Homo-oligomer: A and B are copies of this chain.
Amino acid sequence: MIQIAILGLGTVGTGVARVVAENARQIERKLGEALQVKAVLVRHFKDGPYRQLMTDDFSKIEGDDEIRVVVETIGGVDAAYEYTKRALSAGKHVVTANKQLVAERGCELLALARRKNVSYLFEASVGGGIPVLHPLTQCMAANRIDEVCGILNGTTNYILTRMVRTGAFFSDALREAQAKGYAEADPTADVEGVDAGRKICILADLAFGRQTDPERVPMEGIGRLSLRDVKIAGRAGYRIKLLGRAVRLPGGGRTAYVAPHLIPEDHPMAGVEDVFNAVMIRGNATGDVMFYGRGAGELPTASACVADVMECLQASPKRDEIGWSPDAGGFEDPEKLKSRYYFRVEGSLTDAAMAFGQVEVLSEDGETAFLTDALSGAEAARQSRSLNVLARMRVLDSGSAGSGREA
């Protein structure tokens, strides 16, 4: 019998307890031993099925040598950081879905885990139940990773899907998402791209092997997105999606950012709708592979945590591929990255052509919407200086992802 503890009993914590109970047979078959939740850390005792496991004293868990793995589902940094350090220091494996903590302190916590010869795993922090981090770090270990790009936030993808499909305004679509439980009462972290930003930081850390400082990653959400641009893009054969991107730059640098993009309709990510997530990873040998599924939810996220618990117990904790250098050098401003740009400006095609030379016009009616050739962000900003810019977004290449069109 292997004993574990859960910190926090919110959505993910409850899900972990449920998965351990409901899939006990599958877990025992693979682990060779049964898995049991011995303790649950809570702030306030509540009645319910886990009442007899509850404690509000972390030192009881810390000092219990029978507890081999701690699943941290508190979220945020303060208490979660403190307890994670103490659990690792006490020689326990720690598993989490806490993207903020991993993005901000993951490198340090991984180093501590290595010193203590235990594991710190966080598959559930990106993509919920969709396997992403293990495939990236292990299955694609023989690749140089050139880009990771994804629809990393289900709430904003749901809102965008409603805007495209029913022509809803952003604010109405957000209210609908809140009514369905897909968006928090305070949706800022989702809508402003912060949640996706934390996830792309973790993906960049693992893809490139170096610390990505979240503060240097520009995060633009969909709060200022106009329904007008959604419609113009749709008529021109594009969908607007909020993407996190981490890109290896020519010359050895790297960058990462979050922003809404125009994606060609025949790109595999264009069809990712509602609360679904997708992550595309480009390896220099494998080419583009995509992982798709529900990016959130109690059981998907919890089952990823429990798989990590099983991984801790079976794998050598010395796996160096999960981990990265604290050296944040080589990170560059994503404005250096070239791509085609979508602009909507107040003015005529002549104004647009004066600024950018030849452009691809998408709509003209007092305002002009158009696509430029590939430009860096800095060039796009400089060339558009004389224009009254109402909207500006990057266009994602079809790339090598097998858009359905032949090369």
Kindly state whether residue A404 has any CB partner on chain B within 8 Å: yes
Contact B319 A274 (CB under 8 A): no
Which B-chain residue is minimally distant from A315 (CB atoms)?
B315
Which B-chain residue is minimally distant from A124 (CB atoms)?
B139
A271 → chain B closest CB, angstroms: 6
Contact among B142, B276, B294, B318 with A286 in the assembled complex (CB-CB below 8 Å): B294
Contact A320 B32 (CB under 8 A): yes
List which A295-330 residues lie within 8 A (CB) of chain B: 297, 299-300, 302-304, 306-307, 309-311, 314-316, 318-321
Chain A: residues with CB nearer than 8 A to chain B? 15, 19-20, 22-23, 25-27, 29-32, 123, 129-131, 134-135, 138-144, 161, 209, 266, 268, 271-276, 283-294, 297, 299-300, 302-304, 306-307, 309-311, 314-316, 318-321, 402, 404, 406
Identify 29 residue pairs between A and B in the complex whose beta-carbon atoms are under 8 Å apart, listed by A's number: A23-B142, A23-B285, A26-B142, A26-B143, A123-B139, A129-B283, A131-B139, A131-B140, A134-B134, A139-B307, A142-B303, A142-B309, A266-B271, A268-B272, A271-B271, A273-B402, A285-B300, A286-B294, A286-B303, A287-B294, A287-B299, A289-B291, A290-B290, A291-B291, A292-B292, A314-B316, A314-B318, A314-B319, A314-B321
Tell me, in angstroms, the Cα distance from A27 to B142 when the chains sit together: 6
Contact B307 A274 (CB under 8 A): no
B contact residues around A293 at 8 Å (CB): 286-290, 402
Contact B19 A285 (CB under 8 A): yes
Known: A19-B142, A289-B293, A314-B319. 14 other contacts (CB 8 A): A26-B141, A30-B321, A31-B320, A131-B131, A131-B134, A131-B135, A131-B139, A142-B307, A273-B402, A283-B303, A285-B299, A285-B303, A287-B297, A294-B402
Contact A289 B129 (CB under 8 A): yes
Tell me, in angstroms, the Cα distance from A31 to B135 when the chains sit together: 16
Tell me, in angstroms, the Cα distance from A406 to B402 when the chains sit together: 26
Instruction: Name the residue in A130, A272, A289, A404 with the highest tally of chain B Cβ atoms < 10 Å from its Cβ.
Output: A289
Instruction: List the 8 closest A-B pairs by CB distance, nearest first.
Output: A131-B139, A289-B293, A285-B303, A142-B306, A129-B286, A131-B135, A290-B292, A285-B299
Tell me, in angstroms, the Cα distance from A302 to B289 when the chains sit together: 15
The A interface is mostly helix, strand or loop, or mixed, namely mixed
Tell me, in angstroms, the Cα distance from A307 to B318 when the chains sit together: 16
Contact among B285, B300, B310 with A141 in the assembled complex (CB-CB below 8 Å): B310
Contact among B142, B314, B402 with A276 in the assembled complex (CB-CB below 8 Å): B402
B contact residues around A294 at 8 Å (CB): 286-289, 402
Instruction: Name the residue in A15, A20, A161, A321 with the highest tally of chain B Cβ atoms < 10 Å from its Cβ.
Output: A321
Contact among B29, B129, B406 with A287 in the assembled complex (CB-CB below 8 Å): B129
A127 → chain B closest CB, angstroms: 9
A336 → chain B closest CB, angstroms: 23
B contact residues around A161 at 8 Å (CB): 404
A297 → chain B closest CB, angstroms: 8
B contact residues around A32 at 8 Å (CB): 320
Which B-chain residue is minimally distant from A304 (CB atoms)?
B139
A144 → chain B closest CB, angstroms: 5
B contact residues around A266 at 8 Å (CB): 271
